[in-house]
Amino acid sequence: MIEAKFGKFKEEMFLIQQDVNAAFFERAINRIEDLIERFPDRAEPYYEMGRLSYNFWRNDEAEKNYSKAIEIDPTYFPTYTQFALILIKAARFDEAEALLIKSQTIQSREDSDIYFYFGMLYQHKGELDNAITSYKKAIGCCINESQIDLNLKFIRACIELRGWE
């Protein structure tokens, strides 16, 4: 049976997602801050704050929130790939790779996401053959057409980039 406190937490997380989807960012941030205060031992609010920070180009703030989420719950998978994205875009490739490797040990992981972000890592490093291989591995783990299409788009981009070398 779900505890009332946990149910309320999940309801609040749902409302935050609704606010974000409706572009009510200030209200979402206020709700997240409230959740962090009431549930400091939950990774999800820090993850959501990290995502909002990243979307507003505040990568230092996003990085702090993602680090805190991982510190609180090292098994909360979504944090790893989003944090890795920041590191990849900042050309902090060794840190991103270490984070993605660590994410492979999480029981409730999404292998298609891990391979996709490995693809991005290799693409940004200029290792286009490795990127293509990773995107192909991601396709093998995808559960829907949109994921497959995204990986195919990145494979085509790598092939085009390879042609310009």
- When mean pLDDT is compared across 4-18, 79-93, 101-115, the lowest value belongs to 4-18
Share of the chain above pLDDT 90, in %: 76
Decide if pLDDT at 2 tops 80.
no
Predicted pLDDT at 103: 96
Predicted pLDDT at 165: 58
DSSP line for the chain: ---HHHHHHHHHHHHHHHHHHTT-HHHHHHHHHHHHHH-TT-HHHHHHHHHHHHHTT-HHHHHHHHHHHHHH-TT-THHHHHHHHHHHHTT-HHHHHHHHHHHTT-TT--HHHHHHHHHHHHHHHT-HHHHHHHHHHHHHH--SHHHHHHHHHHHHHHHHHHHT-
| pLDDT band of 15, cuts 50, 70, 90 | confident
Tens of pLDDT, residue by residue over 124-146, are: 999 999 999 999 999 999 889 99
What is the CATH code of the structural domain delimited by 92-165? 1.25.40
Burial of residue 62, with CB atoms counted within 10 A of its CB: 0-12 exposed, 13-18 middle, 19 or more buried: buried
Every domain of the chain and the residues it spans: 1-76, 92-165
For 125, residues 6+ apart whose C-beta sits below 8 A from its C-beta are 93
* CA–CA dist 160, 110 (Å, integer): 28
Two domains, one topology: 1-76 and 92-165 = yes
The fold of 1-76 is 1.25.40
